[in-house]
């Protein structure tokens, strides 16, 4: 794989996170993924058993998440790209639309994410999330 491919995929990954920040959903969000995408979310405080989702599951999860979060921010701390693979270290913060545990509506959640994306033809075919939430 060429360095240009890695650079192009890294730019696509940044656009994906920017779209999430803007509140993208439905077709706008689906445009980042190949139809056969598989997303794995490894066990964390919100999803203790972890999850494996296809495209429909990703889009459904996005809709559920938007009912809980008023806004989100993704700050890329480190990024590496090699050919069809992109690795991101992200500081995520979200403002709650509802009360969650000890946090009130309007409160802020934070997490440190490791996100690994595999691309084919400019689309995400696999996404692996390692989400480490700060205490709340």
Domain definitions of the chain by residue range: 3-133
Q: What share of the chain is helix, strand, coil (3-state, %, to 5)?
A: 30, 45, 25
Q: Tens of pLDDT along 100-122? A: 989 999 999 999 999 999 999 99
CB-based contacts of 102: which residues, under 8 Å, 6+ apart?
Answer: 136
Statement: residue 5 has pLDDT above 90? no
How does residue 57 score in pLDDT terms, banded at 50, 70 and 90? very high
Statement: residue 1 has pLDDT above 50? no
In whole angstroms, give the CA distance from residue 103 to residue 93. Answer: 13
In whole angstroms, give the CA distance from residue 80 to residue 85. Answer: 8
- What is the pLDDT averaged over residues 37-51? 96
Tell me which architecture the domain covering 3-133 has in CATH.
Answer: Roll (3.10)
How does residue 2 score in pLDDT terms, banded at 50, 70 and 90? low
Q: The pTM is what?
A: 0.93
Res 136: pLDDT: 86
In whole angstroms, give the CA distance from residue 29 to residue 71. Answer: 16
In whole angstroms, give the CA distance from residue 85 to residue 64. Answer: 28
Instruction: Retrieve residue 100's tokens.
Output: 């969650």
Q: What percent of the chain has a predicted confidence (pLDDT) above 90?
A: 93
């Amino acid at each position: 794989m060429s360095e240009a491919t890695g650079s192009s995929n890294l730019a696509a990954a940044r656009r994906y996170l920017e779209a999430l920040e803007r509140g993208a959903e439905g077709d706008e969000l689906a445009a980042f993924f190949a139809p056969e995408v598989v997303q794995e979310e490894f066990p964390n405080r919100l999803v203790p058993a972890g999850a494996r989702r296809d495209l429909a599951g990703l889009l459904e999860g996005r809709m559920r998440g938007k009912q809980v979060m008023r806004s989100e921010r993704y700050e890329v701390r480190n990024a590496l790209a090699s050919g069809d693979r992109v690795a991101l270290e992200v500081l995520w913060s979200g403002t709650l639309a509802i009360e969650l545990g000890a946090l009130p509506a309007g409160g802020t959640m934070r997490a440190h994410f490791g996100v690994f994306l595999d691309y084919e033809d400019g689309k995400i075919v696999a996404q692996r999330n390692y989400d480490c939430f700060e205490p709340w």
